[in-house]
Amino acid sequence: MYPDTDVAEKVPETLKDLNETVAYLDFEKAWSIFSQARDTEDLNLYRQAAEMFQEIVDKYPNTESEIGAYSNMGICFEAMSQWRNAIEAYDKIIMKWEEGAEVSDEAATFARMHKDYIVANML
């Protein structure tokens, strides 16, 4: 009703922050399974974590949680020797970074290093 007010101008940023908060809550659940998978090297847990990370990617595009989900999904695929799937996850991060999306240099470097290792040593 009052689009020219200070409060109205803050709505897009507030909604973005709220979306990221909800995404992070889901990310924490997936991270818990992922951590168990790393501790036990249980391939079923890696599979379950990868599926949960995929849900985050699908539900929360353009969030920090999406980038974290792609990174960890790549690690899950590596643990399951699904090299092409891992590369695909890492390529998503690299592509977003190259397009100027909100992707940290560290995330892009991580993705590039893992992709390069897989290409050089596993394919």
Q: What does the pLDDT look like over 27-53, one tens digit per residue?
A: 999 999 999 999 999 999 999 999 999
Question: Rounded distance, CA 50 to CA 61, Å?
Answer: 16
Q: What is the CATH number of domain 6-121?
A: 1.25.40.10
Q: Is 23 buried (19+), middle (13-18) or exposed (0-12) by CB count in 10 A?
A: buried
Q: Is 42 exposed, middle or buried, given 0-12, 13-18 or 19+ CB atoms closer than 10 A? A: middle
∠ CA 92-95-97, nearest 5°, is 110
The whole-angstrom distance between residue 1's C-alpha and the CA centroid of its chain comes to 37
Does pTM top 0.95 for this prediction?
no
Q: 17 or 50: whose pLDDT is higher?
A: 50
